[in-house]
Amino acid sequence: MKVAVLSFAHVHAETYLRLLRDRSDIELIATDPDAEPGDLVRGKALADELGVSYRSSYEAVLAERPRAVIVASENTRHRQLVEQAAAAGAHILCEKPLATTEPDARAMIQACETAGVSLMTAFPVRFHPAFTALRHTLAGGSLGRLLSVHGVNTSSPPALERSWFADPALSGGGAIMDHTVHIADLLDVLLDGEQPAYVYAVANNHLDRHHDDTAGGVESAGLITLTYPRGLVATIDCSWSHPATHPTWGGLTLTCVGDRALVEFDAFPPLLTGYDTHRATPHWEPGGIDLDAAMLNGFLTAARTGQRAHPDGEAGLRTLKTVLAAYRSLHTGRPVPVTDAGSGRSAPGEGHDSSR
């Protein structure tokens, strides 16, 4: 099956290329025409390093009629590439967030429905067997009534590797745009699609070493509180808070509090801890399943069979609504109903005190 990767902008693009390159059942082609000339971590230089067949443009790739396409571009470019891929008849896996505005997300979903192709949102943590066990535990009633959930999705600042993450015109926002969606999607699954009634957010850019000199930049730390119609309260720490010396790039955890039990879920538990005597810094080896590989397996199976891929575009839209409500809350300084979050949002840094 012919599979194409459109753009290497996202930090996950290289992982997808490596995983697909090594599969005997895949003919892989790729392009990254938006890379700056001479960029050694993107574009043809990366493709050559990985031994991946490279094309000069998106149009050249899509002219070869790949059955499946992975969109790993800058966030605000997702819509254009998804619409192009859908028009070419390809099933699509789109990096998260699905889009940065609600109209863009809805247009992407509609384009895929019109073309009769699947649109999948890249939420790999859904494929973790421990999360499946958590879901079944909750559904089985041993937790009792779920009272609250505390989610943490933190990482090193991705702008250290890809500068566009700190450019609102390309990213659509900072840590809230980048990290809220994973936890919001897991909550969506655990609560069977129930949407929060209100969202309240606070944020700052103190973790950005250039924040004193940068006007209108993006937030590097955020804390979001979600209240649900059933009375449940959830929080999301969505910060770029790991320093360069941290032993892991990122992490994701959930603490679920029920009236009968408490359960903690860690998506990336360390397999081995210790210290490197040369650097005197902690050394952690990751353990568990390769979530990106599991997600790709699900996507490729759907593309082969023509089945609807999950998590789909609607799941991406629901999480985006939470993100947009969070930015509206930053703008107003008050809790915001999700239904009133609007079709767009204020630019990062506008309408709120980023020093909070």
Residue 280: per-residue pLDDT: 56
CA distance 159 to 10: 10
Is residue 229 reached through a cis peptide bond, with omega within 30 degrees of 0 on the bond before it?
Answer: no
CA atoms 44, 45, 46, 50: torsion sign: positive
pLDDT at 271: 66
Task: Report pLDDT for 352.
Answer: 36
Quote the pLDDT of residue 61.
98
Which of 319, 316, 323 is closest to 344 using CA atoms?
323
Q: Which of 19, 17, 11, 9 is nearest to 43 (CA)?
A: 9
Model pTM? 0.90
In the chain, which residues have pLDDT < 70?
A: 208-216, 247, 271-287, 340-356
- Give the pLDDT of residue 212: 45
CA distances from 224 to 84, 127, 235, 258, 259 (A): 34, 24, 5, 20, 23
